[in-house]
Amino acid sequence: MKLQDKCPILHFGDLGDERGKLVVIEGAQDIPFEVKRVFYIYDSDSSVIRGQHANRESEFVLINVAGQSKVRITDGKEEVIVELNQPMMGIYIPKMIWKDMYDFSADSVLLVLASTHYDAEEYIRDYDTYIKELKR
Ligand code: TYD
């Protein structure tokens, strides 16, 4: 399967009205998993590269709810760069995809929805190890 099909861009509905915008994300309905963890990244300098890991167990959805950033993903074969710049759009990242987040705008708030509770052991932080595990 192509990397872009493994990691689809998601477009969420806008339930906003004259009072403002409203985006709702229902676990296992608007995204492929039930949400067990939420975290957000902000105040990251534009020169910083975050992520630089793959996850053996976790699936994620990344949404820039404010500002913008880029995410570079690879499955060890293809590479795709996606600019996250709309609160109504996200990217789904399944297990065993290597990801780097970078080019954060000063106002970037990158919201991450995760399918698991945090477990440091399921993070692969070394690229060579990642490639080796893919080949198993
Ligand atoms: P890290 O995974 O390096 O962040 P990023 O993916 O944005 O590059 O996490 C930074 C620190 O925060 C690290 O010590 C692990 C800790 N952490 C948790 O305790 N729980 C979590 O859910 C996350 C994402 C990180």
The pLDDT tens digits for 76-85 are 999 999 999 9
* Mean pLDDT (whole number) for 20-29: 97
User: Does the pLDDT value for residue 136 go beyond 90?
Assistant: no
Taking CA atoms only, the protein residue closest to ligand 1 atom 20 is 118
Among 41, 45, 47, 46, residue whose Cα is nearest residue 66: 41
Taking CA atoms only, the protein residue closest to ligand 1 atom 25 is 118
Whether 117 sits among the annotated catalytic residues: the reply is: no
Candidate of 39, 58, 110 to mutate for ligand 1, largest count of ligand atoms within 8 Å of Cβ = 39
Ligand 1 pocket residue status of 41, Cβ below 6 Å? yes
Place of tokens 């293809």: 78
For 31, counting Cβ atoms within 10 Å of its Cβ (0-12 exposed, 13-18 middle, 19+ buried), the class is buried
Ligand 1 pocket residue status of 51, Cβ below 6 Å? yes
Catalytically annotated residue among 33, 42, 50, 53? 53
Q: What global pTM score does this model have?
A: 0.97
Ligand 1 centre to CA of 113 (Å) is 13
| Predicted confidence (pLDDT) per residue in 82-132, tens digit | 999 999 999 999 999 999 999 999 999 999 999 999 999 999 999 999 999
Ligand 1 centre to CA of 49 (Å) is 13
Among 27, 26, 87, residue whose Cα is nearest residue 62: 87
